[in-house]
A and B are shown apart, each in its own frame.
Chain A
């Protein structure tokens, strides 16, 4: 059985408007996914397409509008989540607002332990806190300092240490390395992979850097405007991208090589980014798609298998 099964997940947020004119942001609009124990599922997609919302709804930080989340056989609801908090953790995208400025680093990392009463003695707790800091490349000297004394990258490592403190099984990593410099990024990725092997952790790994996502993930899901449009093995995505959006995404990656950068043949997406408040009919990507045909406006493509373990939602994928 999969560790996590999400079916028909929806999350709508109300936006301004009055009683007669209610509008909603359809941040997540019907998503099915499964994650196996010990697996890393990468999630990529346009900014604002709902990746963070998926992660937050899974942890019940937002109440889902519709759909079902089953974690290890348990239906995740507002009452069951309390018992699952120790097992599911999140590392946030924004290392600035997620750390309490009045707490020392030691207390920030130790807080989840204190809340859960995980440690018997003070010494055990302090040891555990230090262990986490060392894991992410910080040291004893940092324990008594405050978050504002750290650079952006250092702060993100503190929040990773914090998530690891309660020894969870499943971690939603919401852009955990985007704020890090490349060396520490490499360190953190190695650490995440090592910890995963050692503790059989399961990750939902959200990021924009596709080389990073490819490196760490077993499978990758591509989202567009609240929907999953393609899911496949990590290596496959780069070799055989199927959905036109995925193809555009891959072609837009800036390569760390000035010559390649100059001669690149980018698929520049035409047209405006459509709105999750009022998404296009039929295929949501059609307004910017080069392969668009009349059927795309009428019928919404469903995810279908294009190769073993590779699903894609496009009317024209082979």
Chain B
């Protein structure tokens, strides 16, 4: 349904070229839930913005291809994208405060979105908006419809965004940190709602999150990003039980655990994130990796195939022979 091929994207800033995406490839089938995890600044949101055609200057696609159901997104004009966005492709943004308009009521914005993308009339749109608000667990939807975004709690704003994204039954839902501001019980409810969307309409979901618990709970496939590249991908079981890339290992090791020891400090990944203005020639993770070898400093690793569904970009796999370089 969605296929991204070798996407390169940079921000051309006064300070230089910020290489946000350096050859990202990604496939999503209908009915599939793909989780994207990775360091802050690794290009997850930028990837989402390219898919939805919402990239902003000074950012520009340098090369690559994004196909959505036979539509070439990168050559589609803004007019046509507006129709697709919020309709067939729907997005829940990471920052609900900036994506809700402060001068219109919540209800106004929801109804507008529904009118734009469905053939409902105003009355039906209003009823649907109220229905969606209660679906995402907002009490007193009629009253809340008349409020402005600053009058809602962080989690409520986020739920309004979710209601808006789901209200037009998208074929592809891109959810960027959809539940960070929600408590776990509401989060469980929202995740159930996404599962329902998937099973009833066969929609695909791309879920961008830092929460490896959520990923384990609802994703089929996981894509791990680092410095604008996909360093590992696989099924959930492969990623958690057969972790291949040292960065992914680092991610799993730095989580506080519910039954963990609270007296010793957590174990963050050592070192600083790469400077996308000055990308190192070799593996972007080399300066922070516990297993760095000479080749890591000079040449980026190709994608090694560990199983049909599992790949990893790490030179360590040459030693294990089993892996084969993917063309």
| A interface residues, Cβ below 8 angstroms from B | 13, 15-16, 23, 44-49, 52, 93-94, 96-97, 137, 139, 141, 145, 149-154, 175, 178-187, 189-190, 193-194, 208-212, 214-215, 234-235, 238, 248-249, 252-258, 260-261, 266, 268-269, 272-278
CB within 8 Å for A139 and B272 given contacts A47-B155, A94-B154, A151-B40: yes
Residues of A within 8 A of B216 (CB): 254-258, 260-261
A23 vs B156: C-alpha distance when bound (angstroms): 19
The 6 A-B residue pairs with the shortest CB-CB distance in the complex, in nearest-first order = A47-B155, A153-B40, A254-B213, A186-B266, A186-B268, A275-B139
* Structural contact, A182 and B210, CB atoms closer than 8 A: yes
Which positions 147-187 of chain B face chain A at CB distance < 8 Å?
Answer: 147, 151-156, 158-159, 177, 180-187
A47 touches B154 (CB 8 A): yes
Residues of B within 8 A of A (CB): 11, 13, 15, 18, 38-41, 45, 94-95, 97-98, 134, 137-140, 143, 146-147, 151-156, 158-159, 177, 180-188, 191, 210-217, 236-237, 240-241, 250-252, 254-260, 262, 265-269, 272, 275
Q: How far is the CB of B264 from chain A (nearest CB, A)?
A: 10
Which A residues touch B180, using CB under 8 A? Answer: 175, 178-179, 208
Q: How far is the CA of A277 from the CA of B144 in the complex (A)?
A: 11
In whole Å, how far is B123's beta carbon from the nearest beta carbon of chain A? 21
Given contacts A152-B94, A181-B40, A211-B258, 4 further A-B contacts (CB under 8 A): A96-B97, A154-B41, A208-B184, A234-B262
Indicate if the CB atoms of B251 and A48 lie closer than 8 Å. Answer: no
Tell me the nearest residue of chain B to A257, going by C-beta: B216
Q: A145, A184, A214: which contacts B262 (Cβ < 8 A)?
A: A214
Distance between B120 CB and nearest chain A CB, rounded to angstroms? 24
Asked whether, in the complex, the Cβ of B154 is within 8 Å of the Cβ of A46, the reply is no
Nearest neighbor of B159 in chain A, beta-carbon distance: A47
Q: Are A47 and B143 in contact (CB under 8 A)?
A: no
Find out whether the CB atom of A253 lies under 8 angstroms from the CB atom of B40.
no
Most buried by B among A183, A210, A253: A183
Q: Which residue of B lies closest to A225 (CB)?
A: B139
Q: Which of A182, A193, A258 makes the CB contact (< 8 A) with B255?
A: A182
Q: A180–B159 Cα gap in the complex (Å)?
A: 20
Instruction: Pick the contact of A249: B185, B252, B259 (CB < 8 A).
Output: B185
Given A96-B97, A181-B38, A258-B216: A252 touches B185 (CB 8 Å cut-off) = yes
Expressed in whole angstroms, the Cα–Cα distance for A133 and B251 within the complex equals: 23
* B267 close to A186 (CB less than 8 A): yes
Residues in A with CB closer than 8 Å to B98 are: 96-97
B183 adjacent to A141 (CB under 8 Å): no
Given contacts A15-B147, A149-B13, A182-B251, are A47 and B181 in contact (CB under 8 A)?
yes
Q: Tell me if B94 and A48 are in contact (CB < 8 A).
A: no
A266 to B217 Cα, complex, angstroms:
12
Contact check, B212 vs A256: say whether CB atoms are below 8 A apart: yes
Tell me, rounded to whole Å, the shortest Cβ–Cβ distance linking B267 to chain A.
7
B183 adjacent to A249 (CB under 8 Å): yes
Cβ of B153 and Cβ of A48 under 8 Å apart?
A: yes
B188 touches A252 (CB 8 A): yes
Q: How far is the CB of A153 from chain B (nearest CB, A)?
A: 3
A249–B212 CB distance below 8 A: no
The minimal Cβ–Cβ distance linking A105 to chain B, given in whole angstroms, is 13
Q: A249-B184, A255-B213, A257-B216 are known contacts. Are A189 and B147 too (CB-CB below 8 A)?
A: no
Docked pose: A280 CA to B185 CA in angstroms:
19
Query: Which residues of chain B are within 8 angstroms of A175 by Cβ–Cβ distance?
Result: 154, 180-181
A258 near B186 with CB under 8 A, answer no
A182–B254 touching, CB < 8 Å: yes
Contact B212 A277 (CB under 8 A): no
Closest Cβ of chain B to A61, distance in Å, is 13
Bound CA span A274–B15, Å? 51
Q: Which of A178, A210, A266, A274 contacts B181 (CB 8 A)?
A: A178
Q: Which of B39, B184, B255 has the most C-beta atoms of chain A within 10 angstroms of its own C-beta?
A: B184
Contacts of B185 in A (CB 8 A): 46, 248-249, 252, 269
Q: With A183-B251, A186-B266 given, is the CB distance from A212 to B181 under 8 Å?
A: no
- The answer on a CB contact under 8 Å between A273 and B40 is no
14 contacts between A and B (CB under 8 A): A16-B143, A94-B154, A141-B275, A152-B94, A153-B40, A179-B94, A183-B269, A208-B184, A215-B256, A215-B260, A249-B185, A257-B216, A258-B240, A258-B241
Shortest CB-to-CB span from B25 to chain A, Å, is: 21
CA distance A248 to B185 in the complex (A): 7
- Given A182-B255, A269-B185: A254 in contact with B211 (beta carbons within 8 A): yes
* B260 near A211: Cβ-Cβ < 8 Å: yes
Chain A residues with Cβ below 8 Å from B268 are 183-184, 186-187, 190
Complex Cα distance, B266 from A211, in Å, reads 12
Distance to closest chain A CB from B195 (angstroms): 12
Whether A254 lies near B214 (C-beta < 8 A) is yes
Docked pose: A187 CA to B275 CA in angstroms = 18
Q: Given the complex of chains A and B, what is the CA–CA distance between A149 and B185 in angstroms?
A: 34
Chain A residues whose CB sits within 8 angstroms of the CB of B262 once the complex forms: 214-215, 234-235
Q: Shortest distance in angstroms between A37's beta carbon and chain B's nearest beta carbon?
A: 20
Task: Provide the residues of chain B in CB contact with A145, threshold 8 Å.
Answer: 15
Name the B residues within 8 Å of A215 (CB-CB).
256, 260, 262, 266
Does A97 contact B97, Cβ atoms closer than 8 Å? yes
Name, among A16, A151, A182, A215, the residue most crowded by chain B CB atoms within 10 Å (CB to CB).
A182
In the bound assembly, the distance between CA atoms of A145 and B63 in angstroms comes to: 27
